[in-house]
Amino acid sequence: NVFPTNTAITELLPAVTGTMTSCAVTPSLPTGLVFDTTTCSITGTPTTQTGPTTYTISATGTTGNASANISIRISSTTAFRVFGQLGNLTASALNNGGISANSLAQPSSIGSDGAGNIVIADYNNRRILYYPFANIAAGGNITATKVYGQFGDFTCVANFNNGACGASTPSASNMGAPQSVTMDKNGNVYAEAGSRVLFFSSNASLPASRVYGQVTSTNFTCSVANNNGSCVSGSPTASANTLAGVQQMIVDSSDGIYICDNVNHRVLYYPNGNTTASRVYGQLGSFTTGTPNNGGITANSLNSPAGVALDSTGNLYIADQSNHRILFYPAGTTTATIVYGQSGNFTTSSIGTTASTFNQPWGISLDQYDNLYVSDFGNNRLLYFPKSSTTATRVYGQLGNFTSATPNNGGVTANSMSGIHSVHVDLFGNVYVVDTNNNRVVMY
């Protein structure tokens, strides 16, 4: 359980069989949290950042005694853990320490599964790195245990590597510079690899068993494919089977996937296991157009969408990057009903640096309580929006200032950011920010 400082928590209440007469907790809870000695419930507003701590809850009842453990961490806008910089929150070197299972070079995206394991798209190293949650929880210099895209070699950076760091052509086992990655709850991995998305089963690193964006689900030899199945060198013709410039992706509760098709200015939805899209956002229902702001800037248009997220009831959020806004779509609909970043106006696309405006919002994510996090790329910050509010109440990366946009404000520290591409909140409430220009991922 991860809770931010100065925010009232949702009550933690144990499931109880029988009748309790008293409760106790050891050690003492973080400052601001209150323990009820009758019901064992935990409520309150934490005030001080703390690391993960295990607390033992003991209950006495009419028929005996019982106990259970719970882990609580209190987060803040100061990062407490880092990937890619040998554990150093003040370093920003490209591949610090050399290309290895510990290094990153302009990471671009991140995702997690239901167990807290994560994957990071390591863009300039042309690979996807996998980190088990046990390694993350241990802290220190966090080490990846699996690599996708370099034939299992943690020291290669070859484009479309065919083994032994040799460049080759696209296949089911390699990728170019990946801009996006996600996982489903079962640990299956979806990775962008050119104008295509590769699906890797959770029980294997390589090869991929399915490809999206290449007309057929088994055409692994094209980086870009036309809608007739032939390989092309430029952007493919827009269709329900092609992709161009994949950005963020998200898997829904039925294992369907939403993919930001950035160059075609649309988001496509694919039902579980199907590589032909069944729904399109941003092109007025047409799968064969790729016009920016098709029909004008409206509640139905998109311009270079880069981020996508789902809330607990299946409603969709899209980061409409070049329109400097976030759009909210009720589940199953393709017309937005709420807009973040444009003062409630669906026909404007202005840039701003306030608690309710953006400059190229890129990645988005929601926590388990449907609060929204937005990586505001051009403003070098992360914004937090409480559920149903279009005004941010918390800012990461600008020393608490909603009107500044300085990269690495205050220097490269646990409080700074530069060119953040993505944000991800896992099922436990851990917040991961892909701090691209600092060649790291930081954890809050």
For the segment 371-408, what is each residue's pLDDT rounded down to a tens digit? Answer: 999 999 999 999 999 999 999 999 999 999 999 999 99
pLDDT at 378: 98
pLDDT at 217: 86
* Residue 230 pLDDT > 80: no
Q: Taking the model in full, what pTM does it have?
A: 0.95
Distance CA 7, CA 47 (A): 8
pLDDT at 35: 97
pLDDT at 16: 85
Residue type present at position 336: A
- Which pLDDT band, with edges at 50, 70 and 90, does 278 fall under? very high
pLDDT at 173: 86
- Which pLDDT band, with edges at 50, 70 and 90, does 13 fall under? very high
pLDDT at 63: 85
Whether 396 and 402 have beta carbons less than 8 Å apart is answered as: no
pLDDT at 175: 87
Residue type present at position 426: D
* Residue predicted with more confidence, 100 or 221: 100
Whether 432 and 441 have beta carbons less than 8 Å apart is answered as: yes
pLDDT at 224: 81
- Residue 161 DSSP one-character state: B
Whether 112 and 167 have beta carbons less than 8 Å apart is answered as: no
* Residue 105 pLDDT > 90: yes
Burial, 98: exposed, middle or buried (Cβ in 10 Å; 0-12, 13-18, 19+)? Answer: exposed
pLDDT at 138: 85
- Which pLDDT band, with edges at 50, 70 and 90, does 331 fall under? very high
Closest to 100 measured CA to CA, from 172, 177, 157, 168: 157
* Residue 413 pLDDT > 80: yes
pLDDT at 353: 98
Whether 355 and 374 have beta carbons less than 8 Å apart is answered as: no
- Rounded to an integer, the average pLDDT of 156-169 is 81
Closest to 390 measured CA to CA, from 338, 337, 318: 338
* Residue 194 pLDDT > 80: no
Greatest C-alpha distance within the chain: 74
* Residue 155 pLDDT > 80: yes
Whether 443 and 382 have beta carbons less than 8 Å apart is answered as: no
- Alpha helices (runs of H) in 218-283, residue ranges in sequence order: none
